[in-house]
Amino acid sequence: MNHFDLREGALACESVSLAAIARAVGTPVYVYSSATLERHYQVFRDALTAHPALGSPAIAYAVKANSNLSVLATLARLGAGADTVSQGEIRRALAAGIPPERIVFSGVGKTSEELAFALKAGVAQINVESEPELKRLTGVARAVGVRPAVVIRVNPDVGAGGHAKISTGGHESKFGVSLAEAERLYRLAETDDALNAVGLACHIGSQITDLAPLEAAFGVMRDLVLRLRAQGWTVERLDLGGGLGVSYFNNPEPPSPRAFAAMAASVVGGLDVELAFEPGRVIAANAGVLVARVIHVHERPDGRRFAVLDAAMNDLIRPAMYEAYHDIRPVAPRPGAAVSYDVVGPVCETGDTFTRDRLLAPLEGDDLVAFMSAGAYGAVMSSEYNTRPLIPEVLVRGDAFAVVRARPSYEEMLSRETRAPWL
């Protein structure tokens, strides 16, 4: 469920017309619904807590899905933690009011500087993804004088996800350590007096619409916990990552959080570990839309129609990068039979094509359209390619809205660069 509906013939976010936001802020613009963010977090949380066998699991929102400070602050007020993958994301989580004891630091290439920052900030745990990183962390921990809680991220050799580029659990993936390495590295961490080995982690991919691979991965992790305990090692935590998919209208309906929680309880329930989950897309995707304006419609003699928008691949890169599908809706639908359009942006790349041969209500220049399910991996992956300004982000609550990231002026963009002194 989301809170984007037609009101008096035009699309609105909660009680605010998207056309009103476009008039006030300009286009393109990302618009997020507070009510949807809150509801999705609460549904996920309640699904997990409905199973006593799961205990009181931590929910660390995956900041990379949407890192806007107001989005993070909205979730922080509900008790969410943060799964972070850079010093910048840790700083964002802290700035949004997420306490360090609810922050997890993941990522395959943490620098010494980033590790030192995380340790000084007091994050809940460091998810270690390789032996070189384990050795690096030991050195940093001794230098900083902090004994961090360490979790070994395991690659369970179960790949899943909506695209090869977002599948992270296969044996060829760069993430985590192999099962063959996991026990040895856990033993190294357990016997290192600079570290506090507390558990294991895994994350097999994103946009997963079938519980079977998740169930298989969770089973691998359960068995590994039992093997380590049989060797006399303590395993207190089990971080099972995120990855649960959402509906983009062209994929099978994904499992519900309730079904996901029931599966997790059946596989790892009763292990006597502190469980953690890292939802991202499932919280944010359907809580946001990208609103764009039609510059013009170009019809060729062969009948192919191009709806040229003021939004481009630098604003929403998912279709170009992942061949991703987004439902596209006219903000104020015109009457008439659906028409086939190639929906494209103004960037000088053939790849700046959002979709081809999409049937939409008739469009004309100056019409507004909304890309649905754009709240995750939208604004956070945008760029200034072609010297196009980053587009604003707006957060709605009820009948009010606020600009939570402003569009920079061209002068502000250019002022960030300086000429070399010999020029």
Q: Which amino acids are annotated catalytic? A: 348
- Angle made by CA atoms 256, 258, 260, in degrees to the nearest 5: 70
| Count helices and strands in the chain by DSSP H and E runs | 12, 21
Beta strands (DSSP E) in 18-145 are: 29-33, 58-62, 81-84, 103-105, 125-128
Q: In b/e form, how buried is each residue of 36-74, taking b as 16+ CB within 10 angstroms?
A: bbbbbbeebbebbeebeebbebbbbbbbbbbbbbbbbbb
Residue corresponding to tokens 């340790």:
119
Cis bond upstream, residue 28 (ω within 30): yes
CA distance 118 to 144: 10
In sequence order, which ranges of 193-280 are alpha helices (DSSP H)? 211-230, 257-268
Q: Tell me, what amino acid is at 288? A: G
Residues in the chain, overall count: 423
CA distance 147 to 83: 20
Q: Which of 86, 100, 189 is nearest to 138 (CA)?
A: 189
Report phi then psi at 177, rounded to 5. -105, 150
Contact 124, 236 (CB under 8 A): no
Contact 307, 147 (CB under 8 A): no
CA distance 353 to 40: 30
In a 10 Å sphere around its CB, with 0-12 CB exposed, 13-18 middle and 19+ buried, how is residue 404 labelled? middle
